């Protein structure tokens, strides 16, 4: 007998997990190695105003002449306070696909979060909105590059270009806020039996599928919840286990899957169309080259005929005979000098 849980790679399930501050804080600490004093969740749905020029190329959306409201959603955003007293702006995104449209969405999210000021407590107890360095964690369920490590960390590193060496001094807030650290976790590439601090990521890996062809419910290799010794992992499993019978949530998961499948199908069509277009362009290019080559060959043949006609004319051969030999007209032969 194994423990059955809802698959946390679905957005709707993942968000429920991270509503638990103990899990959110612990998960971030495990992945980043940060010593977090306090983690405060920030709104993940934000309203922004779109100017009229934002509708360029979007025919289906009718925007008013001046402004329009738009809602965009992130999976998890938080303010982190380290025990050293420093603050960071954290973004976590859970994605079931690594297709190009989602890359565009990630870039949009990151751009929007770079513009967000976060309210930070000052030393005197007051609060002030500030721009903070951003750390991003991307959980990607479908592998986008199997050659990369399952968990890849992209850190901020700075170089003194003129002196050709790494710069290790404090670069200051301006530079820190314009660069960001990022973690890329390809869940399907994770080792099947992670142990220690990263064992918690086993449940984000779709390796223990209960029903063939249906990944809503997973089985994890424990007979009982009490066998899960790690308190953070145990708390997460308890929540995911309690959600197995939630039919409304499972309907949301199915809707997500339909949406992801639709996007994937659309992306495949775009890729196929792009490949076909490139093939057509290549074929047209090859045809143009063949036509040009034929033109050159015909030009060379015409020149050989003209040279032959010239030699025959110089030899005193009658024009009628030259016509029969070369196929040239009487007027063309008379022009030859």
Q: Which domain holds residue 46?
A: 3-50+57-245
* Mean per-residue pLDDT, 183-189: 89
Length of the chain: 337
Beta-carbon contacts of residue 265 (< 8 Å; ≥ 6 apart):
none
Is 113 inside any structural domain? yes
**Poorest-pLDDT segment among 44-53, 71-80, 194-203:** 44-53
The answer to the question of residue 103 being in a domain is yes
Residue-wise pLDDT for 192-214, tens only, equals 778 788 888 888 886 676 666 67
Please tell me the number of Cα atoms within 13 Å of 64 on its side-chain side.
7
Both structure tokens of 101: 């449209």
Phi (first) and psi of residue 297, to 5 degrees: -65, -40
Q: Is the pTM for the entire model greater than 0.85?
A: no
Do residues 53 and 72 touch, judged by C-beta distance below 8 A? no
Helix (H, G, I), strand (E, B) or coil at 175: helix
**SS3 state of residue 54:** helix
**Residue at 150 is within a domain:** yes
Cβ burial of 244 (10 Å; 0-12, 13-18, 19+) is middle
Instruction: Please give the pLDDT value at position 210.
Output: 65
Alpha-carbon distance of 26 to 36, in angstroms, equals 9
283 Cβ neighbours under 8 A, 6+ residues apart: none
In a domain, 261, yes or no: no
The first and second tokens of residue 227, run together, are 């066998």
Task: For residue range 80-114, list pLDDT tens digits in order.
Answer: 998 888 899 999 888 776 655 567 777 877 888 88
**Average pLDDT score, the chain:** 82
- Is 187 within the bounds of a domain? yes
Q: What are the structure tokens assigned to 283, written together?
A: 């074929």
Does residue 43 lie within any of the structural domains?
yes
Give the tens place of pLDDT for each residue, 165-180: 999 999 998 998 888 8
pLDDT at 99: 59
3-class DSSP state of 317:
coil
**pLDDT at position 184:** 92
How many domains does the chain divide into? 1
Dist. CA 31–CA 193, nearest whole Å? 17
Residue 188 lies in a domain: yes
What pLDDT does 224 receive?
83
| 238 within a domain of the structure (yes/no) | yes
250 contacts: CB under 8 Å, gap ≥ 6: 6, 216
CA angle 265, 271, 275 (to 5 degrees): 145
Cα separation of 104 and 296, whole Å?
47
Please say whether the beta carbons of 108 and 50 come within 8 A.
no
């Amino acid at each position: 007998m194994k423990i059955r849980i809802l698959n946390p790679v679905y957005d709707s399930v993942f968000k429920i997990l991270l509503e638990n501050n103990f899990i959110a804080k612990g998960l971030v600490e495990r992945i980043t190695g940060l010593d977090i004093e306090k983690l405060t969740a920030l709104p993940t749905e934000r309203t922004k105003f779109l100017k009229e020029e934002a509708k360029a190329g979007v025919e289906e959306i009718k925007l008013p002449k001046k402004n329009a409201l738009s809602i965009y959603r992130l999976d998890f955003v938080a303010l982190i306070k380290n025990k050293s007293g420093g603050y960071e702006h954290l973004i976590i995104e859970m994605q079931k696909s690594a297709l190009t449209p989602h890359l565009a969405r990630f870039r949009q999210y990151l751009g929007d979060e770079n513009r967000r000021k976060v309210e930070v407590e000052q030393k005197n107890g007051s609060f002030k909105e500030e721009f903070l360095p951003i750390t991003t964690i991307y959980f990607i369920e479908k592998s986008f590059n199997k050659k990369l490590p399952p968990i890849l960390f992209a850190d901020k590193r700075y170089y003194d270009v003129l002196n050709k060496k790494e710069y290790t001094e404090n670069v200051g807030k301006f530079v820190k806020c314009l660069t960001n650290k990022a973690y890329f976790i390809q869940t399907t590439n994770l080792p099947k039996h992670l142990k220690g601090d990263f064992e918690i990521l086993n449940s984000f890996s779709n390796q223990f599928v209960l029903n063939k062809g249906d990944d809503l419910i997973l089985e994890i290799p424990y007979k009982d919840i009490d066998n899960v010794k790690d308190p953070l992992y145990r708390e997460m499993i308890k929540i995911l286990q309690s959600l197995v019978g939630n039919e409304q949530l499972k309907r949301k998961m199915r809707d997500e899957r339909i949406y992801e499948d639709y996007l994937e199908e659309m992306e495949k069509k775009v890729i196929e169309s792009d490949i076909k277009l490139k093939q057509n362009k290549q074929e047209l290019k090859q045809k143009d080259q063949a036509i040009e080559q034929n033109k050159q060959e015909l030009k060379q043949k015409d020149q050989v005929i003209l040279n032959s006609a010239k030699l025959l004319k110089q030899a005193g051969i009658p024009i009628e005979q030259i016509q029969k030999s070369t196929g040239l007209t009487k007027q063309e032969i008379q022009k030859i000098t």
